[in-house]
Structure 1
Amino acid sequence: MTSSTFQDTVNEFVLSKDQVQKIIDGLTEELVEGLSTKDPKNITQQPSYITRLPTGQETGLYLAIDMGGTNLRTAAVHLLGDGQVGVTMEKHEITHDLKTGTGEAMFDWIADCTAQLLKSVALDLGTTADLQMGVTFSFALHQTAINRGTVLAMGKGFDLSDVMGKDLKDLLEGGFARKNLPVSVSAIINDTVGTLVSHAYVSPSTKIGVILATGTNAAYIERAADVSKYNGPACDQMILNTEWDAMGKASYLPQTKYDKEIDAVSLVPGFQEFEKMVSGLYMGELVRLSLVDLIERNAIFEFLGGKVPESLKPRLAFKTLFMSTIESENNPEHTAVDHVFKSSFGIEGLTADDRRRVFELVHAVGKRSATMTAAACAALLHKANGASVNLDDANEITTIGIDGSVFEKYPHFSHEMMEALTEILGKDRASRIRLELARDGGCIGAALVAMVSHSGGAV
């Protein structure tokens, strides 16, 4: 009974070919729907107002900030041409109090962080005209111009007052004005758009940008004629911020009871259901909920007698970092499992079977995330095929630039994504896909877009 109960739980995270295809078909349907819908509740497929990728020859000094789910990065970016950049960057943790406070307090803090950067790079504000800034904003915006967009929704633990529905340029420049900083916002992009643009600066075959960290999202290049929701100047193509994190419906997502529990207790149930199945914020919680259930059913850690330790009860107590530690160990005894549970939870006495089972569970949850991310990338590749991507040209390489701690640091994640893409696309097509790590895309991408926007060109 114990063994079958455990295996049944692990098997819930193992996806069949049919389940993967349903994810691809479902996401593709939502990608198409998002191109035309005027429903303000549908935040997917947001036009970025960026109509071409950089050439790699752009030059100049521009400020940039990258506001994500965990940190704010401020940067002075020197574009040097020939795909080269010089970056002075500072990182600041966004505290819980900031995330759940007032909008004014948040944007004053951003201005203070920017002032600290300017001091670090020794810019003399007294002799400096308005400094141009590109902004990467990792949350849903309704973009109305290259440097304007109203805030639609903020997940990732944010609950700011007086921000929803406001224009981000006005919010930021209000903070700069209150702190007497001569900074103008000349471009606003999403972090995943920044990843696409910045990686294309150094790798011109890049057609898709993906973020896979605390949250997840993607951007790609679409035919402008297919983007009926776009009302801007005429163009041939448009980079779209898919907001695929907010996609996903119960009709096609292979949700376990643990996925449903995570959604039910989240700040906004029914929102970002795809993200809650694959991103770094939730992977560890899926393992914790599974372990709690298995302990209560006496299917693991039997020495506890079905009693869950207090240390395992808090939400998000089992971090995705612990999964990475466990999977990174090349040791059949899985001694890293012992270390994690002893040092972080005060749990000792695990048997060899316990350690093996924890490893199997962790591996299954991690592999499901990689497979689902690959399925989402396949949906984008299919949607863009014949436009910015040509899957059938044996001489064309398509690069997917991926930024984020899960892709960069989680063991074997890129390999398992590539295995899943090979299964989905076939060996020939998959051999022409490259998955590449794209670091610091938010700041560099924002600076690139700010440069072209300020110079009067259309990116």
Structure 2
Amino acid sequence: MTKSIFQETVEQFVLSKDQVQKIINGLTDELVEGLSTKDPKNITQQPSFITRLPTGHETGLYLAIDMGGTNLRTAAVHLLGDGQVGVTMQKHEITHELKTGTGQAMFDWIADCTAGLLKTVAIDMGDAELQMGVTFSFAIQQTAINRGKVLAMGKGFDLSDVMGHDLKDLLEGGFARKNLNVKVSAIINDTVGTLVSHAYVSPSTKIGVILATGTNAAYIERASEVSKYNGPTCDQMILNTEWDAMGKAEYLPQTKYDKEIDAVSLVPGFQEFEKMISGLYMGELVRLALVDLIERNAILEFLGGKVPESLSQRLAFKTLFMSTIESDHSSDHAGVDKVFKTSFGIEGLTPEDRARIFQLIHTIGKRSATMTAAACVALLQKANGSSVNLDDPNEITTIGIDGSVFEKYPHFSHSMMESLIEIMGQDRASRIRLELARDGGCIGAALVAMVSESGGAV
């Protein structure tokens, strides 16, 4: 029987076992390549200069900031020992104007946000120098535990006078202009922060993952494998994989919608893996598929093939709408009606329309979870025999995951675990734990700042 246009569209997002294995193999090859490449265009597998995980007994009060793709978080972090922390945190939205303005304006704003935090927690600085740990959710070339050159940003950022500059200098320049005596004593990536902070609470944590506006991961590698590392001798090293920047056409199962997202992005051909799975792009994949289906009269036929203006705008269909729709468990998918009426002014959906839209959204969400699981398997296999032992029936390996997609998207963690079982087998997968790691950036940065100040490495 001939498949309908709708069926053909949805099936593009369903991954076969062979496609999943190609993703694992392709990412593994890129992980290996990133360990040694001297190509400045290859930003993967960045050494963090952090050589061990915390014990859970660290104590002290430290400032931290966590700069992500959507928000800046400022925090005063009190490490209490025994895996316990006290955190005073403030969240600030990073506006489009800031993202596309000057570097000086951005770092002055960060200093202003830090000053606001100090006022809130009533820290009297006096002449004392405050130590700060920084989590930076973008690619940097780390040259020391508190220094790194900004390599690339993405996620909608297009700042002037930032690329190639040392992040410590950029931040401390902003603090100096605002008369704040704050020293940047540690710089880490958000995934490194997630790994370090969750290991403080859960010692079996060996991998940290971010699943939010963007995506990335960190893991522990044998130092002998990291030939690009130029630093003090050590046995192991936490690596910031920058897996968001991985992905090649020969193994990524890109649909025409994925290719369209890439083509109109700020940097085509960059972060192709991320563009298939992260929160910034999942909703846009749904929108592009919906527009195509409407134009081909395969859905919402009462529109006569004409796409409403409200659905024509790039990024108009947010990943949040996918969460809202998948959170509705009613048999008639009333959540679809709610989103389309409230956000797009579209009414009159038939039961078949609602069921099809739900199916499309569920399939795209599940593809993201499956691809994320495949990437985790690539990391587990690469670390096997060093920080991870997949063959020990008594060893539990925890993957700490931070970010709105993992935390808030319905069934995402369940879909990831289902995929892990399918890929690894029930026995091995049963020894893998997927755990939510909230606010990993700030706590991880504080932990690394503490150890850096005392002259050691985590």
Shared topology, TM-score over 0.5?
yes
Match of 2:82 in 1: 82
* Partner Cα separation in structure 1 for residue 242 and residue 115 of structure 2: 31
1:429 alignment counterpart: 428
Q: How far is 1:124 from its partner?
A: 1.1
Q: Which deviations, in whole Å up to 9, do the C-alpha atoms of 1:72-107 show, x marking residues without a partner?
A: 000000000000000000000000000000000000
Alignment of 1:177-196 (within 5 A): 177-196=176-195
Partner SS state of residue 53, structure 1: coil
- Alpha-carbon distance, 1:134 to partner: 0.2
1: CA distance, partners of 2:2 / 2:382: 45
Aligned to 2:122: 122
Give the corresponding residue for 2:61: 61
Q: Which runs of 4+ in 1 moved over 4 A?
A: none
CA deviation profile, 1:103-128 (whole Å, cap 9, x unmatched): 000000000000000111111122x4
Q: Which amino acid aligns with 1:66?
A: D
Code of the residue aligned with 2:69 in structure 1: it is: G
**What is the CA distance between 1:246 and its match in structure 2?**
0.1
The answer on 1:131 being equivalent to 2:130 is yes
1:347-426 alignment to 2 at 5 Å? 347-426=346-425
How far off is 1:3 after superposition?
6.5
Alpha-carbon shift at residue 195 of structure 1 (Å)? 0.2
Residue 48 of structure 2 is matched in structure 1 by: 48
What's the counterpart of residue 166 of structure 2? 167
Which runs of structure 2 are paired with 1:435-450 in the superposition (5 Å)? 435-450=434-449
The Cα shift of 1:12 comes to 0.2
Extract unaligned runs of 5+ from structure 1.
none
2: distance between equivalents of 1:409 and 1:132?
33
What per-residue deviation string (whole Å, max 9, x for no partner) do you get for residues 366-401 of structure 1?
Answer: 000000000000000000000000000000000000
Kept in 2, the 8 Å contact 1:278–1:372? The answer is: yes
Q: Shift of residue 206 of structure 1?
A: 0.1
How far apart are residue 29 of structure 1 and its match?
Answer: 0.1
The one-letter code of the counterpart of 2:363 is A
Q: Distance in 1 between matches of 2:2 and 2:334?
A: 22
**Residue equivalent to 1:200:** 199
Q: Match for 2:189: what amino acid? A: N
1:457 is displaced (CA, Å) by 1.1
Are the aligned partners of 1:66 and 1:136 in contact in 2 as well (CA < 8 Å)?
yes
Counterpart residue type for residue 108 of structure 2: D
Q: Give the corresponding residue for 2:315.
A: 316
| Paired residue secondary structure (2:111) | helix
Q: How does 1:242-391 map to 2 (within 5 A)?
A: 242-391=241-390
1:305 and 1:245 mapped to 2: Cα distance?
A: 39
- Give the number of aligned pairs: 458
Matched, 1:27 2:27: yes
Q: CA deviation at 1:439?
A: 0.1
For the residue of structure 2 that corresponds to 1:457, the secondary structure is coil
Equivalent residue number for residue 73 of structure 1: 73
What SS is found at the alignment partner of 1:125? Answer: coil
CA change 1:340–1:2 in 2 (3 A) is farther
Residues of 1 paired with 2:316 and 2:433: CA distance?
A: 35
| Whole-angstrom CA distance in 2 between matches of 1:353 and 1:184 | 59
User: Would the aligned equivalents of 1:398 and 1:433 in 2 still touch at CA under 8 Å?
Assistant: yes
Following the alignment from structure 1 to structure 2, what is the Cα–Cα distance between the partners of residues 295 and 454? 59
Compute the displacement of 1:297 (Å).
0.3
Tell me if structure 2 keeps the 8 A contact 1:149–1:169.
yes
* 1:36 lines up with 2:41 in the alignment: no
Q: Structure 2-normalised TM-score? A: 0.99
User: 2:249 corresponds to which letter in structure 1?
Assistant: A
Larger mean CA deviation between 403-412 and 3-12 belongs to 3-12
Q: Deviations over 1:140-163 (max 9, x none)?
A: 000000000000001000000000
Kept after mapping to 2: 8 A contact 1:2/1:298: no
Q: Is the 8 A contact 1:402 1:435 kept in 2?
A: yes
**Aligned counterparts of 1:410 and 1:66: Cα–Cα separation in 2:** 22
1:7 is matched with which residue?
7
Corresponding residue for 2:221? 222
Partner AA of 2:125 in structure 1: L
- In structure 2, what residue type is equivalent to 1:405? S
SS in structure 2 opposite 1:172?
helix
Q: State the one-letter code of the partner of 2:286.
A: V
- What's the CA shift string for 1:324-363, capped at 9, x where partnerless? 0111111110011001001100001100000000000000
CA drift at 1:55 = 0.4
**2:22 alignment partner AA:** K
- Counterpart for residue 100 of structure 1: 100
8 Å CA contact retained: 1:173, 1:185: yes
* Identity %, equivalent residues: 87
- C-alpha contact (below 8 Å) 1:2/1:300 kept by paired residues: no
Calculate the TM-score normalised by the size of structure 1: 0.99
Provide the rounded CA distance (Å) in 1 between the counterparts of 2:273 and 2:125: 45
Task: Name the SS for the 1:291 alignment partner.
Answer: helix
Contact 1:31 1:242 in 2 (8 A): yes
- Per the TM alignment, residue 2 of structure 1 is displaced from its structure 2 partner at its CA by 10
**Cα deviations across residues 225-256 of structure 1 (Å, max 9, x unaligned)?**
00000010000000000000000000000000
The whole-number CA distance in structure 1 between the counterparts of 2:244 and 2:293 is 29
Query: Deviation digits for residues 170-193 of structure 1, max 9, x if unmatched?
Result: 000000000110100000000000
CA RMSD of aligned residues (A): 0.9
Give me the whole-angstrom Cα distance separating, in 2, the residues matched to 1:122 and 1:400.
Answer: 36
Paired residue secondary structure (2:446): helix
Distance 1:351 1:23 in 2: 37
